[in-house]
């Protein structure tokens, strides 16, 4: 037996960026994934101290627009995102023991 809320969710639609419609139910897995993402935010200067120089270099980070004052974040998968004026851009990634380095340099845990 389905309740009214589940029927409403199945029939609810949303407009996408191109103007087409899609079921809100189809968005649910992506929405749950987005909620579950965890990051540690830091400045560009702190990120420079976190990198090992093998995966990504300071020069490569600067070429993507990272400055000492930039706001960046790293997720548990090691993706590095740079805060732009109106969005976050993935600009690279970390591998190896980055989780320990990121937590040590920032003093933060995943949120």
Q: What is the mean pLDDT of each run of 10 residues along the chain (111 residues)?
A: 51 57 59 73 96 87 97 96 96 91 95 92
At 97, which helix (H) or strand (E)? none
At 27, which helix (H) or strand (E)? helix 24-36
CA atoms within 13 A on the CB side of 4: 0
Using only the alpha carbons of the chain, give its radius of gyration. Answer: 19
* pTM for this predicted structure: 0.68
Tokens of 103: 């937590």
Give the pLDDT confidence score for residue 10 in this predicted structure.
54
- In this structure, the strands spanning 79-83 and 71-75 are antiparallel
Give the pLDDT confidence score for residue 75 in this predicted structure.
96
Give the pLDDT confidence score for residue 11 in this predicted structure.
55
- The answer to whether 97 and 103 are in contact (CB under 8 A) is no
Give the pLDDT confidence score for residue 12 in this predicted structure.
56
Cα distance between residue 27 and residue 96, in whole Å:
33
């Amino acid at each position: 037996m389905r309740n009214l809320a589940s029927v409403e969710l199945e029939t609810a639609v949303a407009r996408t960026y191109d103007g087409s419609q899609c079921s809100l139910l189809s968005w649910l897995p992506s929405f749950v994934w987005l909620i579950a993402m965890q990051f540690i935010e830091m400045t560009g200067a702190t990120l420079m101290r976190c990198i090992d120089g093998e995966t990504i270099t300071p020069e490569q980070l600067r070429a993507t627009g990272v400055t000492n004052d930039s706001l960046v974040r790293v997720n548990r998968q090691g993706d590095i995102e740079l805060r732009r004026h109106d969005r976050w851009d993935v600009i690279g990634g970390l591998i190896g023991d980055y989780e320990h380095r990121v937590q040590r340099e920032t003093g933060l845990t995943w949120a």
